[in-house]
Structure 1
Amino acid sequence: MTESHTRILAAIQAELWAITPEALHQVIAIAQGFGEAPEAVAAKLGRPLENTQSMTRRGDVAVLPITGPIFRYANLFTQVSGATSIQTLATDFGAAMGDPTVKAIVLEVDSPGGMVAGVSEFAAMVRDATSVKPVIGYVSHMAASACYWITAAASEIVVADTALLGSIGTVTRANIRKDDGSVEIVSSQSPDKRLDPGTDAGRAKMQATVDSLAQVFVEAVGRYRGVSTDTVLSDFGKGGILVGADAVKAGMADRVGSLEGILRRF
């Protein structure tokens, strides 16, 4: 196991995550197999390892993709795993806001969520921007956990008819054991994502931290969507997923539509 490999696994264990359990397992599986030197990975990719910006321009609209697991910072692992970083999102979003020729911003979303760190700040950045120009969240496939937190801050949420929204809850992986006896602790705010957290004092303390962060998450979603915390807990999937029109009916999104339909408005 390389030093880089060890650092990545340690970082994953140290973070709190707002992500679907399946996606968290996938992130860990990628990390466990990630032991190559940066030069070797660059050779396989056939290009330099650079933190390239991903925003595109469609007429007067800036389209900012949010895809894959969300990490706070851009690094080699995010590039190899197809993840998105808050660092890059904030830079690109700021550039779009500062460009007077950009009339609107579309967050083109397909993500299972990711690290909690940095998400609240970026969501607040999105919400503040909505008072200056329209910021529309378009969910092509999935806006779960941390990704929904961000998307909820948009001026409007448009979803594909097959889009998946929700999974509102905070998950943390306390330990990655060699015998695959890993521990996941799920916020009590999200009963449908329930896993066995164990009963020892250390896990109880961690559970309290997770629950506190989940409360921040739920309150932010309620504030952005203009509903009460109780409504978020009772109607927004209870930690599970709602599809397309059902998400609209529950108040998690505003309408079913398409990216091209959004672009035609500007």
Structure 2
Amino acid sequence: MEEPKPAGEPPQPAPEKPRPPKPCPPPPRRSWIARILFILLLISFLFNLSFYAMYQEFFSTGGGPTEQFDSGDAEAEQKIAIVSITGTIMPPFTERIIRSIEQATKDDQVKAVLLEIDSPGGLVADSHQIYHRLVALREKKPIVVYMKRMAASGGYYVAMGAGTEGIIFAEPTTWTGSLGVIIPRFDMSGLAEKVGIVSDPLKTGEFKDALNPFRNLSPREKEIWDHILDESYQRFINIIVENRKDLDYDQVKKLATGQIYTATDAQKNGLIDEIGYQEDAIAQLKKKTGLEKVRVIRYTHPASLADILLSSAQAGQVENRKQALLESTVPRAMYYTSWLGDVPGMQ
């Protein structure tokens, strides 16, 4: 028998059973749309930033380089201008070097130019463009060359812009020479055969894919490229003969084996005149111009988007080598020191 409940006491509710946890709802669709829109906005921002940097660089070219005081008398009116050629000779740096040369040519306060070279060389066309502008400059103002760490191949080619009257200085540890031409090319035909790759491009002419890395060069293709290389090679030799008064054609050809020369050997072979430093080259220019008080200035250019991208490219060597493979069929004749590795900006 149930015990009687006291009168007036409300009935007690039954205890609640524990409820199972609610499953987490899937993220709403709107959050994914927001993420996609954010990514698109970020990509758009980066593209606009790139276009703005290119816009600034394009419209700033007319102003020419800026002058930076280097040494000498800061109050002097007459100037010696340093035109620096550093790194691989290639766009966009070629255009900057040319603008510096043009600025030195038209500035009446610039009485002489120190051509400072620290380069392993670069593209054939770019090297000759710089040389051509230097020839015009030397008709108005004396040029003295100062070689730093390296002035090889195209770096030596542009040094010839100083002419027969221009004196070439090199530091005791400078490497120069490497006189010759190279067209970088990969031969991956053996690898292609192993993995079963067949190169079958659609082309309009027999020689359109002459540097295809997945097959060997045919005899006719090799004959054509040998002719192209020899023409650039002969031009290089003749440029040296024209501008080094103590060297004739046979002597230069004997030196033009692609070999690197130390400063001591280069001086013995007649490739340079003096072993010295920047101050020695400047002293020579003062002597040539008869200047006592002079302001030595250096032409500089603001860093552009291309500089940033190329610096990043040099830091990522793996990506550079992938790009080299993709561009290996593009012919580029170069006055370049090939054993330095991949060409910056061309990998």
Q: TM-score range by the shorter chain?
A: 0.5 to 0.7
User: SS of the counterpart of 1:161?
Assistant: coil
Unaligned regions of 5+ residues in structure 2, if any? 1-42, 73-78, 193-215, 287-347
1:213 is matched with 232
- 2:169 aligned residue: 158
Return closer, same or farther for 1:61/1:169 CA change in 2, 3 Å cut-off.
same
CA contact (8 A) 1:56 1:62 kept: no
Q: 1:225 to 1:176 in 2, by over 3 A?
A: same
Map residues 30-41 of structure 1 onto 2, 5 A cutoff.
39=46
Task: Give the partner amino acid of 2:239.
Answer: A
Q: Output the CA distance in 2 between the equivalents of 1:37 and 1:167.
A: 45
Residue pair 1:108, 1:140 contacting (<8 A) in 2 also? yes
Instruction: Work out whether 1:168 is the aligned partner of 2:187.
Output: no
Deviation at 1:64, TM superposition (A): 1.3
- Matches of 2:191 and 2:239, distance apart in 1: 34
AA at the equivalent of 1:219: N
Q: CA deviation at 1:203?
A: 2.4
The runs of 5 or more residues in structure 1 that have no matched partner are 1-35, 75-83, 182-196
Q: Is the 8 A contact 2:65 2:103 kept in 1?
A: no
Pick the aligned partner of 1:95 from 103, 114, 119: 103
Q: How many percent of aligned residue pairs carry the same amino acid?
A: 25
Which of the numbers 264, 280, 303 marks the counterpart of 1:245?
A: 264
Q: Measure, in 2, the Cα distance between the counterparts of 1:38 and 1:149.
A: 42
| Greater strand proportion | 1
User: Cα gap change, 1:174/1:49 in structure 2, threshold over 3 Å: closer, same or farther?
Assistant: farther
TM-score scaled by length of structure 2: 0.51
Pair 108,205 (structure 1): closer, same or farther in 2 beyond 3 Å: same
Residues 178 and 253 (structure 1), Cα distance of their counterparts in 2 relative to 1, 3 Å cut? same
1:104 correspondence with 2:112? yes
Shift in Å, 1:204 = 2.4
After superposition, the Cα gap between the structure-2 partners of 1:93 and 1:179, relative to the gap in structure 1 and judged at 3 Å, is farther
Question: How far is 1:135 from its partner?
Answer: 0.9
Instruction: Name 1:255's counterpart in structure 2.
Output: 274
Instruction: Name which one, 1 or 2, has greater alpha-carbon Rg.
Output: 2
Do 1:167 and 1:241's aligned partners in 2 also have CA atoms closer than 8 Å? yes
Equivalent position amino acid for 1:69 in 2 = T
Q: What is the number of residues matched between the two proteins?
A: 202
User: After superposition, what is the alpha-carbon deviation per residue over 1:49-69, rounded to whole angstroms, capped at 9, x for unaligned?
Assistant: 847847645452111111111
Higher relative contact order (Cα pairs below 8 Å, separated by 6+ residues): 2
Task: Please say if residues 113 and 142 of structure 2, whose CA atoms lie closer than 8 Å, have aligned partners that are also in contact.
Answer: yes
Q: Which residue of 1 aligns with 2:243?
A: 224
Q: Per the alignment, do residues 152 and 54 of structure 1 end up closer, same or farther by CA in structure 2, a change over 3 Å counting?
A: farther
**Match of 1:66, SS?**
strand
Distance 1:172 1:55, change over 3 A: farther
- After superposition, the Cα gap between the structure-2 partners of 1:138 and 1:259, relative to the gap in structure 1 and judged at 3 Å, is same
Letter of the aligned partner of 1:118 in structure 2?
Answer: D
CA distance in 2, matches of 1:61, 1:180: 55
Contact 2:101 2:137 in 1 (8 A): no
> What is the alpha-carbon distance in structure 2 between the residues aligned to residue 54 and residue 143 of structure 1?
25
Q: Distance in 2 between matches of 1:167 and 1:199?
A: 28
| Root mean square deviation, CA, Å | 3.4
Amino acid at match of 1:231: Q
Of residues 59, 82, 89, the one that matches 1:63 is 82
